[in-house]
C-alpha cells in the first residue's frame, strides 16, 4: 500500500503543480495553446526538452546495449550536446525571427505551401506510425517488466500492458489536449527533476551494495571486476548496430542529431515557445549540459548490471535495467521510482500528441478547410483531433505485443526516409537565397529511392551501418539542393523578415557557455576512451 500511495502522491503532486501554473493562462489563442503564450523560461524549456527525449527506450535500451557491448551506447546522448549548441546559436535565432509555430511553417515562408504540406504529412505519418502506439507499448512493457504488474494483479502480460497503455494514454492526453503546451512543459520539468533524482539512485545504490555500504569501496569493486574494454565508448569504423562506428560521430550521428534536435517538431516546439531568444538559448544550452549527465545514470547501468549478473542476460539484454532496479531499489522507494518512470513515459507520449495536434490544425485544417476560423475554434478542433489520436493509440498500442520483435527498430529506421532531406532543406533555406521550391521536392524523391536501395545491400552480402548510409545521403541531398538551385534559381532573393514575435536579443553568455559545454563533451569522451578509464583500468 505504501508503494501505491507514494506513486499516486508524486503523480498527483505533478498534476497539481501543472494545474496551478497554467490555471490562469489563455488557452483559446493560437500562441497560448500551441506555444504556451510564448512564455516559457529557459529552465522549463531545458526540463521539457530533456524529458521529452528521455523515455523507457533510453533507460532500458541504452542500458541493454551497454550491458551487451560497451559504453558506446552513450554516443546517442553525449553527441546530442553539439546539436543542441547548434540549435541555440544557429537555428533558434532564425526560427524566432520568423515567428513560426511549426517547422513546416518556416518551409512555407522559404519555399512554398506544397513543401510545407509534404513535410507536415511526413512528420504526422512518422509520429502516428512510430511514436504514439509504440511509445505507449514500449513504456508499458518496460513498466511491467520492472514492477511485475501482471504478477501483482494476477493477470496476463497483455492485460497488464493494456491497463498501463490506458493509464498512460489517458493522463498524457489530459495534459496535451486540455492543458496545451505549457502544461506539458511544466509537468516535464517537475518529472525531469524526479527522473534525475530517481535515475541516479540506481547506480549510487548499486555501487554502495557492491562496496557493502561504502561508495568508494563499491567504485573500486566496480572498476576491478568489469572488463576494461566495457568502459570504452570508441568503437571500430566497421562496427555494426548496436555499436556506433567512431567516424560517424562526425558524420551520420551529427547529421541525425541535427535533424532530431533542430528540426523535429516534438522537440523544438518548446524551444519556439520561449519568452525571448535569450530564454530559448538558455534552455537549449542547459539541455546540452544535461545530455552529458545521461551516461552516468543511464548507460553506466548496463555495466553495473554486468557486474551483478555477468553474462546471464545476453539472451535478453533489455532485461538488464529492470533487473538492476529490482535488485537495488528498496521497496519503500519503489513508489517514487515508479512515479518518476511513469512521468518519463508520459512525457514522450504527450509531447508527440501535442505536436501532432499542432501540425494538423495549423498546417492542414486552417489553410485547407477553414481559413477564416478564429483561434478559439482552431483550439477546439485541435482538442477533438488530439482526442481521436489518443483513443486510436490507446486501442492499438497493446496489440503491438503480437508484432515481430524488430518492429520498433524498423519504424525508427523509417525516419531515415525523410530526416536527411528535411535537414538539408532547412539548412539550405538558411544559407541560400536563390534555391527554389523545386529543390526539396526533387531531393525528397531521390533520397527515398536511394535510401530504399541501401536497404537491399545486406541481400548482396554488404553490411553497412545505417549511420554510414545517412552520412553519404545527407551529402548527396545537399548536393542536389545546390545543383537545382544553380540550374533553376529563384527569380528573386529570399529575405527572412523579423515579424516581432519575441525579443531577439541573444543571451550574452551563450557563446562562452557553449564553448564550456563543448569542452565538457570532449571530457566525457576522454573519460570513456582508451585514454581514460578504459586505458587506466586495463
The per-residue pLDDT string of the chain (538 residues; one tens digit each, 9 = 90 and over) reads 677 788 788 778 777 777 677 666 665 555 555 555 577 888 889 988 888 788 776 788 788 889 999 999 999 899 999 999 999 999 999 999 999 888 988 999 999 999 999 999 888 888 877 778 888 887 787 788 777 888 888 999 889 989 988 988 888 777 667 666 566 677 777 777 888 888 899 999 999 999 999 999 999 999 999 999 999 999 999 988 878 899 999 999 999 999 999 998 888 888 888 899 999 999 999 999 999 999 999 999 999 999 999 999 888 787 889 889 989 999 888 888 888 888 877 777 877 888 888 888 888 888 888 888 887 888 888 888 888 888 888 888 888 776 544 444 555 667 888 899 999 999 999 999 999 999 999 999 999 999 999 988 888 888 888 889 999 999 999 999 999 999 999 999 999 888 888 999 999 999 999 999 999 999 999 999 999 988 887 6
pLDDT score recorded for residue 405: 46
User: Is 42:286 a contact under the CB 8 Å cutoff?
Assistant: yes
Sequence-separated (6 or more) residues with CB below 8 Å from residue 355: 123, 127, 265, 266, 269
DSSP code of residue 174: I
Exposed e or buried b for every residue in 375-392, given b needs 16+ CB within 10 A?
beebbebbbebbbebbee
pLDDT score recorded for residue 220: 94
DSSP code of residue 311: T
As a whole number of angstroms, the distance between CA 243 and CA 252 comes to: 13
Coil, strand or helix at 503: strand
User: Is 355:127 a contact under the CB 8 Å cutoff?
Assistant: yes
pLDDT score recorded for residue 350: 78
User: Is 473:427 a contact under the CB 8 Å cutoff?
Assistant: no
Backbone torsions φ then ψ of 237, nearest 5 degrees: -65, -25
Sequence-separated (6 or more) residues with CB below 8 Å from residue 301: 59, 63, 66, 202, 203, 206, 320, 321, 324
C-alpha distances out from residue 217 to 59, 188, 478, 532, Å = 26, 35, 53, 20
Q: Which residue has the cell 511485475?
A: 148
As a whole number of angstroms, the distance between CA 123 and CA 389 comes to: 14
Name the burial class of residue 462, with classes exposed (0-12), middle (13-18) and buried (19+) by CB atoms within 10 angstroms of its CB.
Answer: exposed
As a whole number of angstroms, the distance between CA 154 and CA 158 comes to: 12
As a whole number of angstroms, the distance between CA 287 and CA 45 comes to: 8
C-alpha distances out from residue 254 to 83, 85, 383, Å = 7, 12, 36
- Nearest CA among 415, 389, 411, 423 for reference residue 122: 415
As a whole number of angstroms, the distance between CA 21 and CA 144 comes to: 32
DSSP code of residue 506: P
Measured in whole angstroms, the distance separating CA 99 from the mean position of its chain's CA atoms is: 23
pLDDT score recorded for residue 406: 45
Amino acid at each position: 500500500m505504501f508503494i501505491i500511495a507514494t506513486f499516486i502522491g508524486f503523480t498527483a503532486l505533478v498534476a497539481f503543480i501543472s494545474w496551478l501554473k497554467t490555471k490562469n493562462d489563455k488557452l483559446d489563442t493560437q500562441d497560448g495553446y500551441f506555444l504556451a503564450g510564448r512564455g516559457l523560461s529557459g529552465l522549463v524549456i531545458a526540463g521539457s526538452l530533456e524529458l521529452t527525449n528521455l523515455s523507457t527506450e533510453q533507460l532500458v535500451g541504452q542500458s541493454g546495449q551497454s550491458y551487451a557491448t560497451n559504453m558506446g551506447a552513450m554516443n546517442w546522448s553525449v553527441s546530442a550536446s553539439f546539436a543542441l549548441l547548434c540549435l541555440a546559436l544557429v537555428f533558434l535565432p532564425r526560427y524566432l525571427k520568423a515567428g513560426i509555430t511549426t517547422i513546416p511553417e518556416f518551409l512555407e515562408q522559404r519555399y512554398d505551401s506544397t513543401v510545407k504540406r509534404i513535410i507536415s504529412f511526413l512528420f504526422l505519418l512518422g509520429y502516428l506510425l512510430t511514436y504514439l502506439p509504440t511509445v505507449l507499448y514500449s513504456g508499458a512493457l518496460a513498466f511491467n517488466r520492472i514492477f511485475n504488474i501482471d504478477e501483482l494483479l494476477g493477470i496476463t502480460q497483455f492485460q497488464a500492458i493494456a491497463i498501463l497503455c490506458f493509464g498512460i494514454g489517458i493522463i498524457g492526453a489530459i495534459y496535451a489536449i486540455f492543458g496545451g503546451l505549457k502544461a506539458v512543459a511544466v509537468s516535464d520539468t517537475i518529472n525531469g527533476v524526479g527522473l534525475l533524482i530517481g535515475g541516479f539512485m540506481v547506480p549510487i545504490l548499486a555501487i554502495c551494495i557492491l562496496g557493502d555500504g561504502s561508495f568508494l569501496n563499491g567504485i573500486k569493486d566496480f572498476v576491478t571486476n568489469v572488463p576494461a574494454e566495457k568502459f570504452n565508448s570508441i568503437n571500430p569504423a566497421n562496427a555494426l548496430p548496436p555499436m556506433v562506428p567512431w567516424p560517424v560521430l562526425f558524420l551520420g550521428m551529427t547529421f541525425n542529431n541535427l535533424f532530431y534536435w533542430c528540426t523535429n517538431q516534438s522537440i523544438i516546439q518548446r524551444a519556439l515557445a520561449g519568452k525571448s531568444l535569450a530564454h530559448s538559448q538558455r534552455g537549449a544550452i542547459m539541455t546540452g549540459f544535461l545530455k552529458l549527465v545521461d551516461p552516468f545514470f543511464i548507460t553506466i547501468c548496463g555495466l553495473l548490471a554486468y557486474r551483478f549478473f555477468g553474462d546471464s542476460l545476453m539472451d535478453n539484454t533489455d532485461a538488464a535495467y529492470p533487473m538492476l532496479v529490482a535488485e537495488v531499489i528498496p521497496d519503500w522507494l519503489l513508489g517514487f521510482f515508479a512515479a518518476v518512470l511513469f512521468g518519463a513515459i508520459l512525457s514522450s507520449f504527450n509531447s508527440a500528441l501535442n505536436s501532432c495536434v499542432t501540425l494538423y490544425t495549423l498546417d492542414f485544417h486552417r489553410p485547407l478547410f477553414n481559413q477564416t476560423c478564429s483561434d478559439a475554434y482552431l483550439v477546439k478542433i485541435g482538442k477533438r483531433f488530439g482526442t481521436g489520436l489518443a483513443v486510436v493509440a490507446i486501442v492499438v498500442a497493446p496489440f503491438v505485443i503480437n508484432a515481430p520483435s524488430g518492429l520498433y527498430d524498423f519504424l525508427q529506421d523509417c525516419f531515415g526516409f525523410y530526416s536527411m532531406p528535411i535537414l538539408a532543406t532547412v539548412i539550405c533555406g538558411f544559407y541560400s537565397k536563390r534555391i527554389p521550391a523545386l529543390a526539396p521536392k526533387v531531393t525528397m524523391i531521390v533520397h527515398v529511392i536511394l535510401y530504399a536501395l541501401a536497404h537491399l545491400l545486406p541481400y548482396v552480402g554488404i553490411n553497412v551501418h545505417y549511420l554510414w548510409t545517412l552520412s553519404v545521403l545527407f551529402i548527396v541531398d545537399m548536393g542536389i539542393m545546390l545543383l537545382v538551385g544553380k540550374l533553376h534559381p529563384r527569380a528573386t532573393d529570399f529575405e527572412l523578415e523579423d515579424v516581432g514575435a519575441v525579443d531577439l536579443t541573444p543571451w550574452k553568455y551563450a557563446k562562452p557557455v557553449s564553448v564550456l559545454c563543448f569542452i565538457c563533451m570532449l571530457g566525457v569522451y576522454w573519460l570513456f576512451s582508451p585514454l581514460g578509464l578504459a586505458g587506466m583500468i586495463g
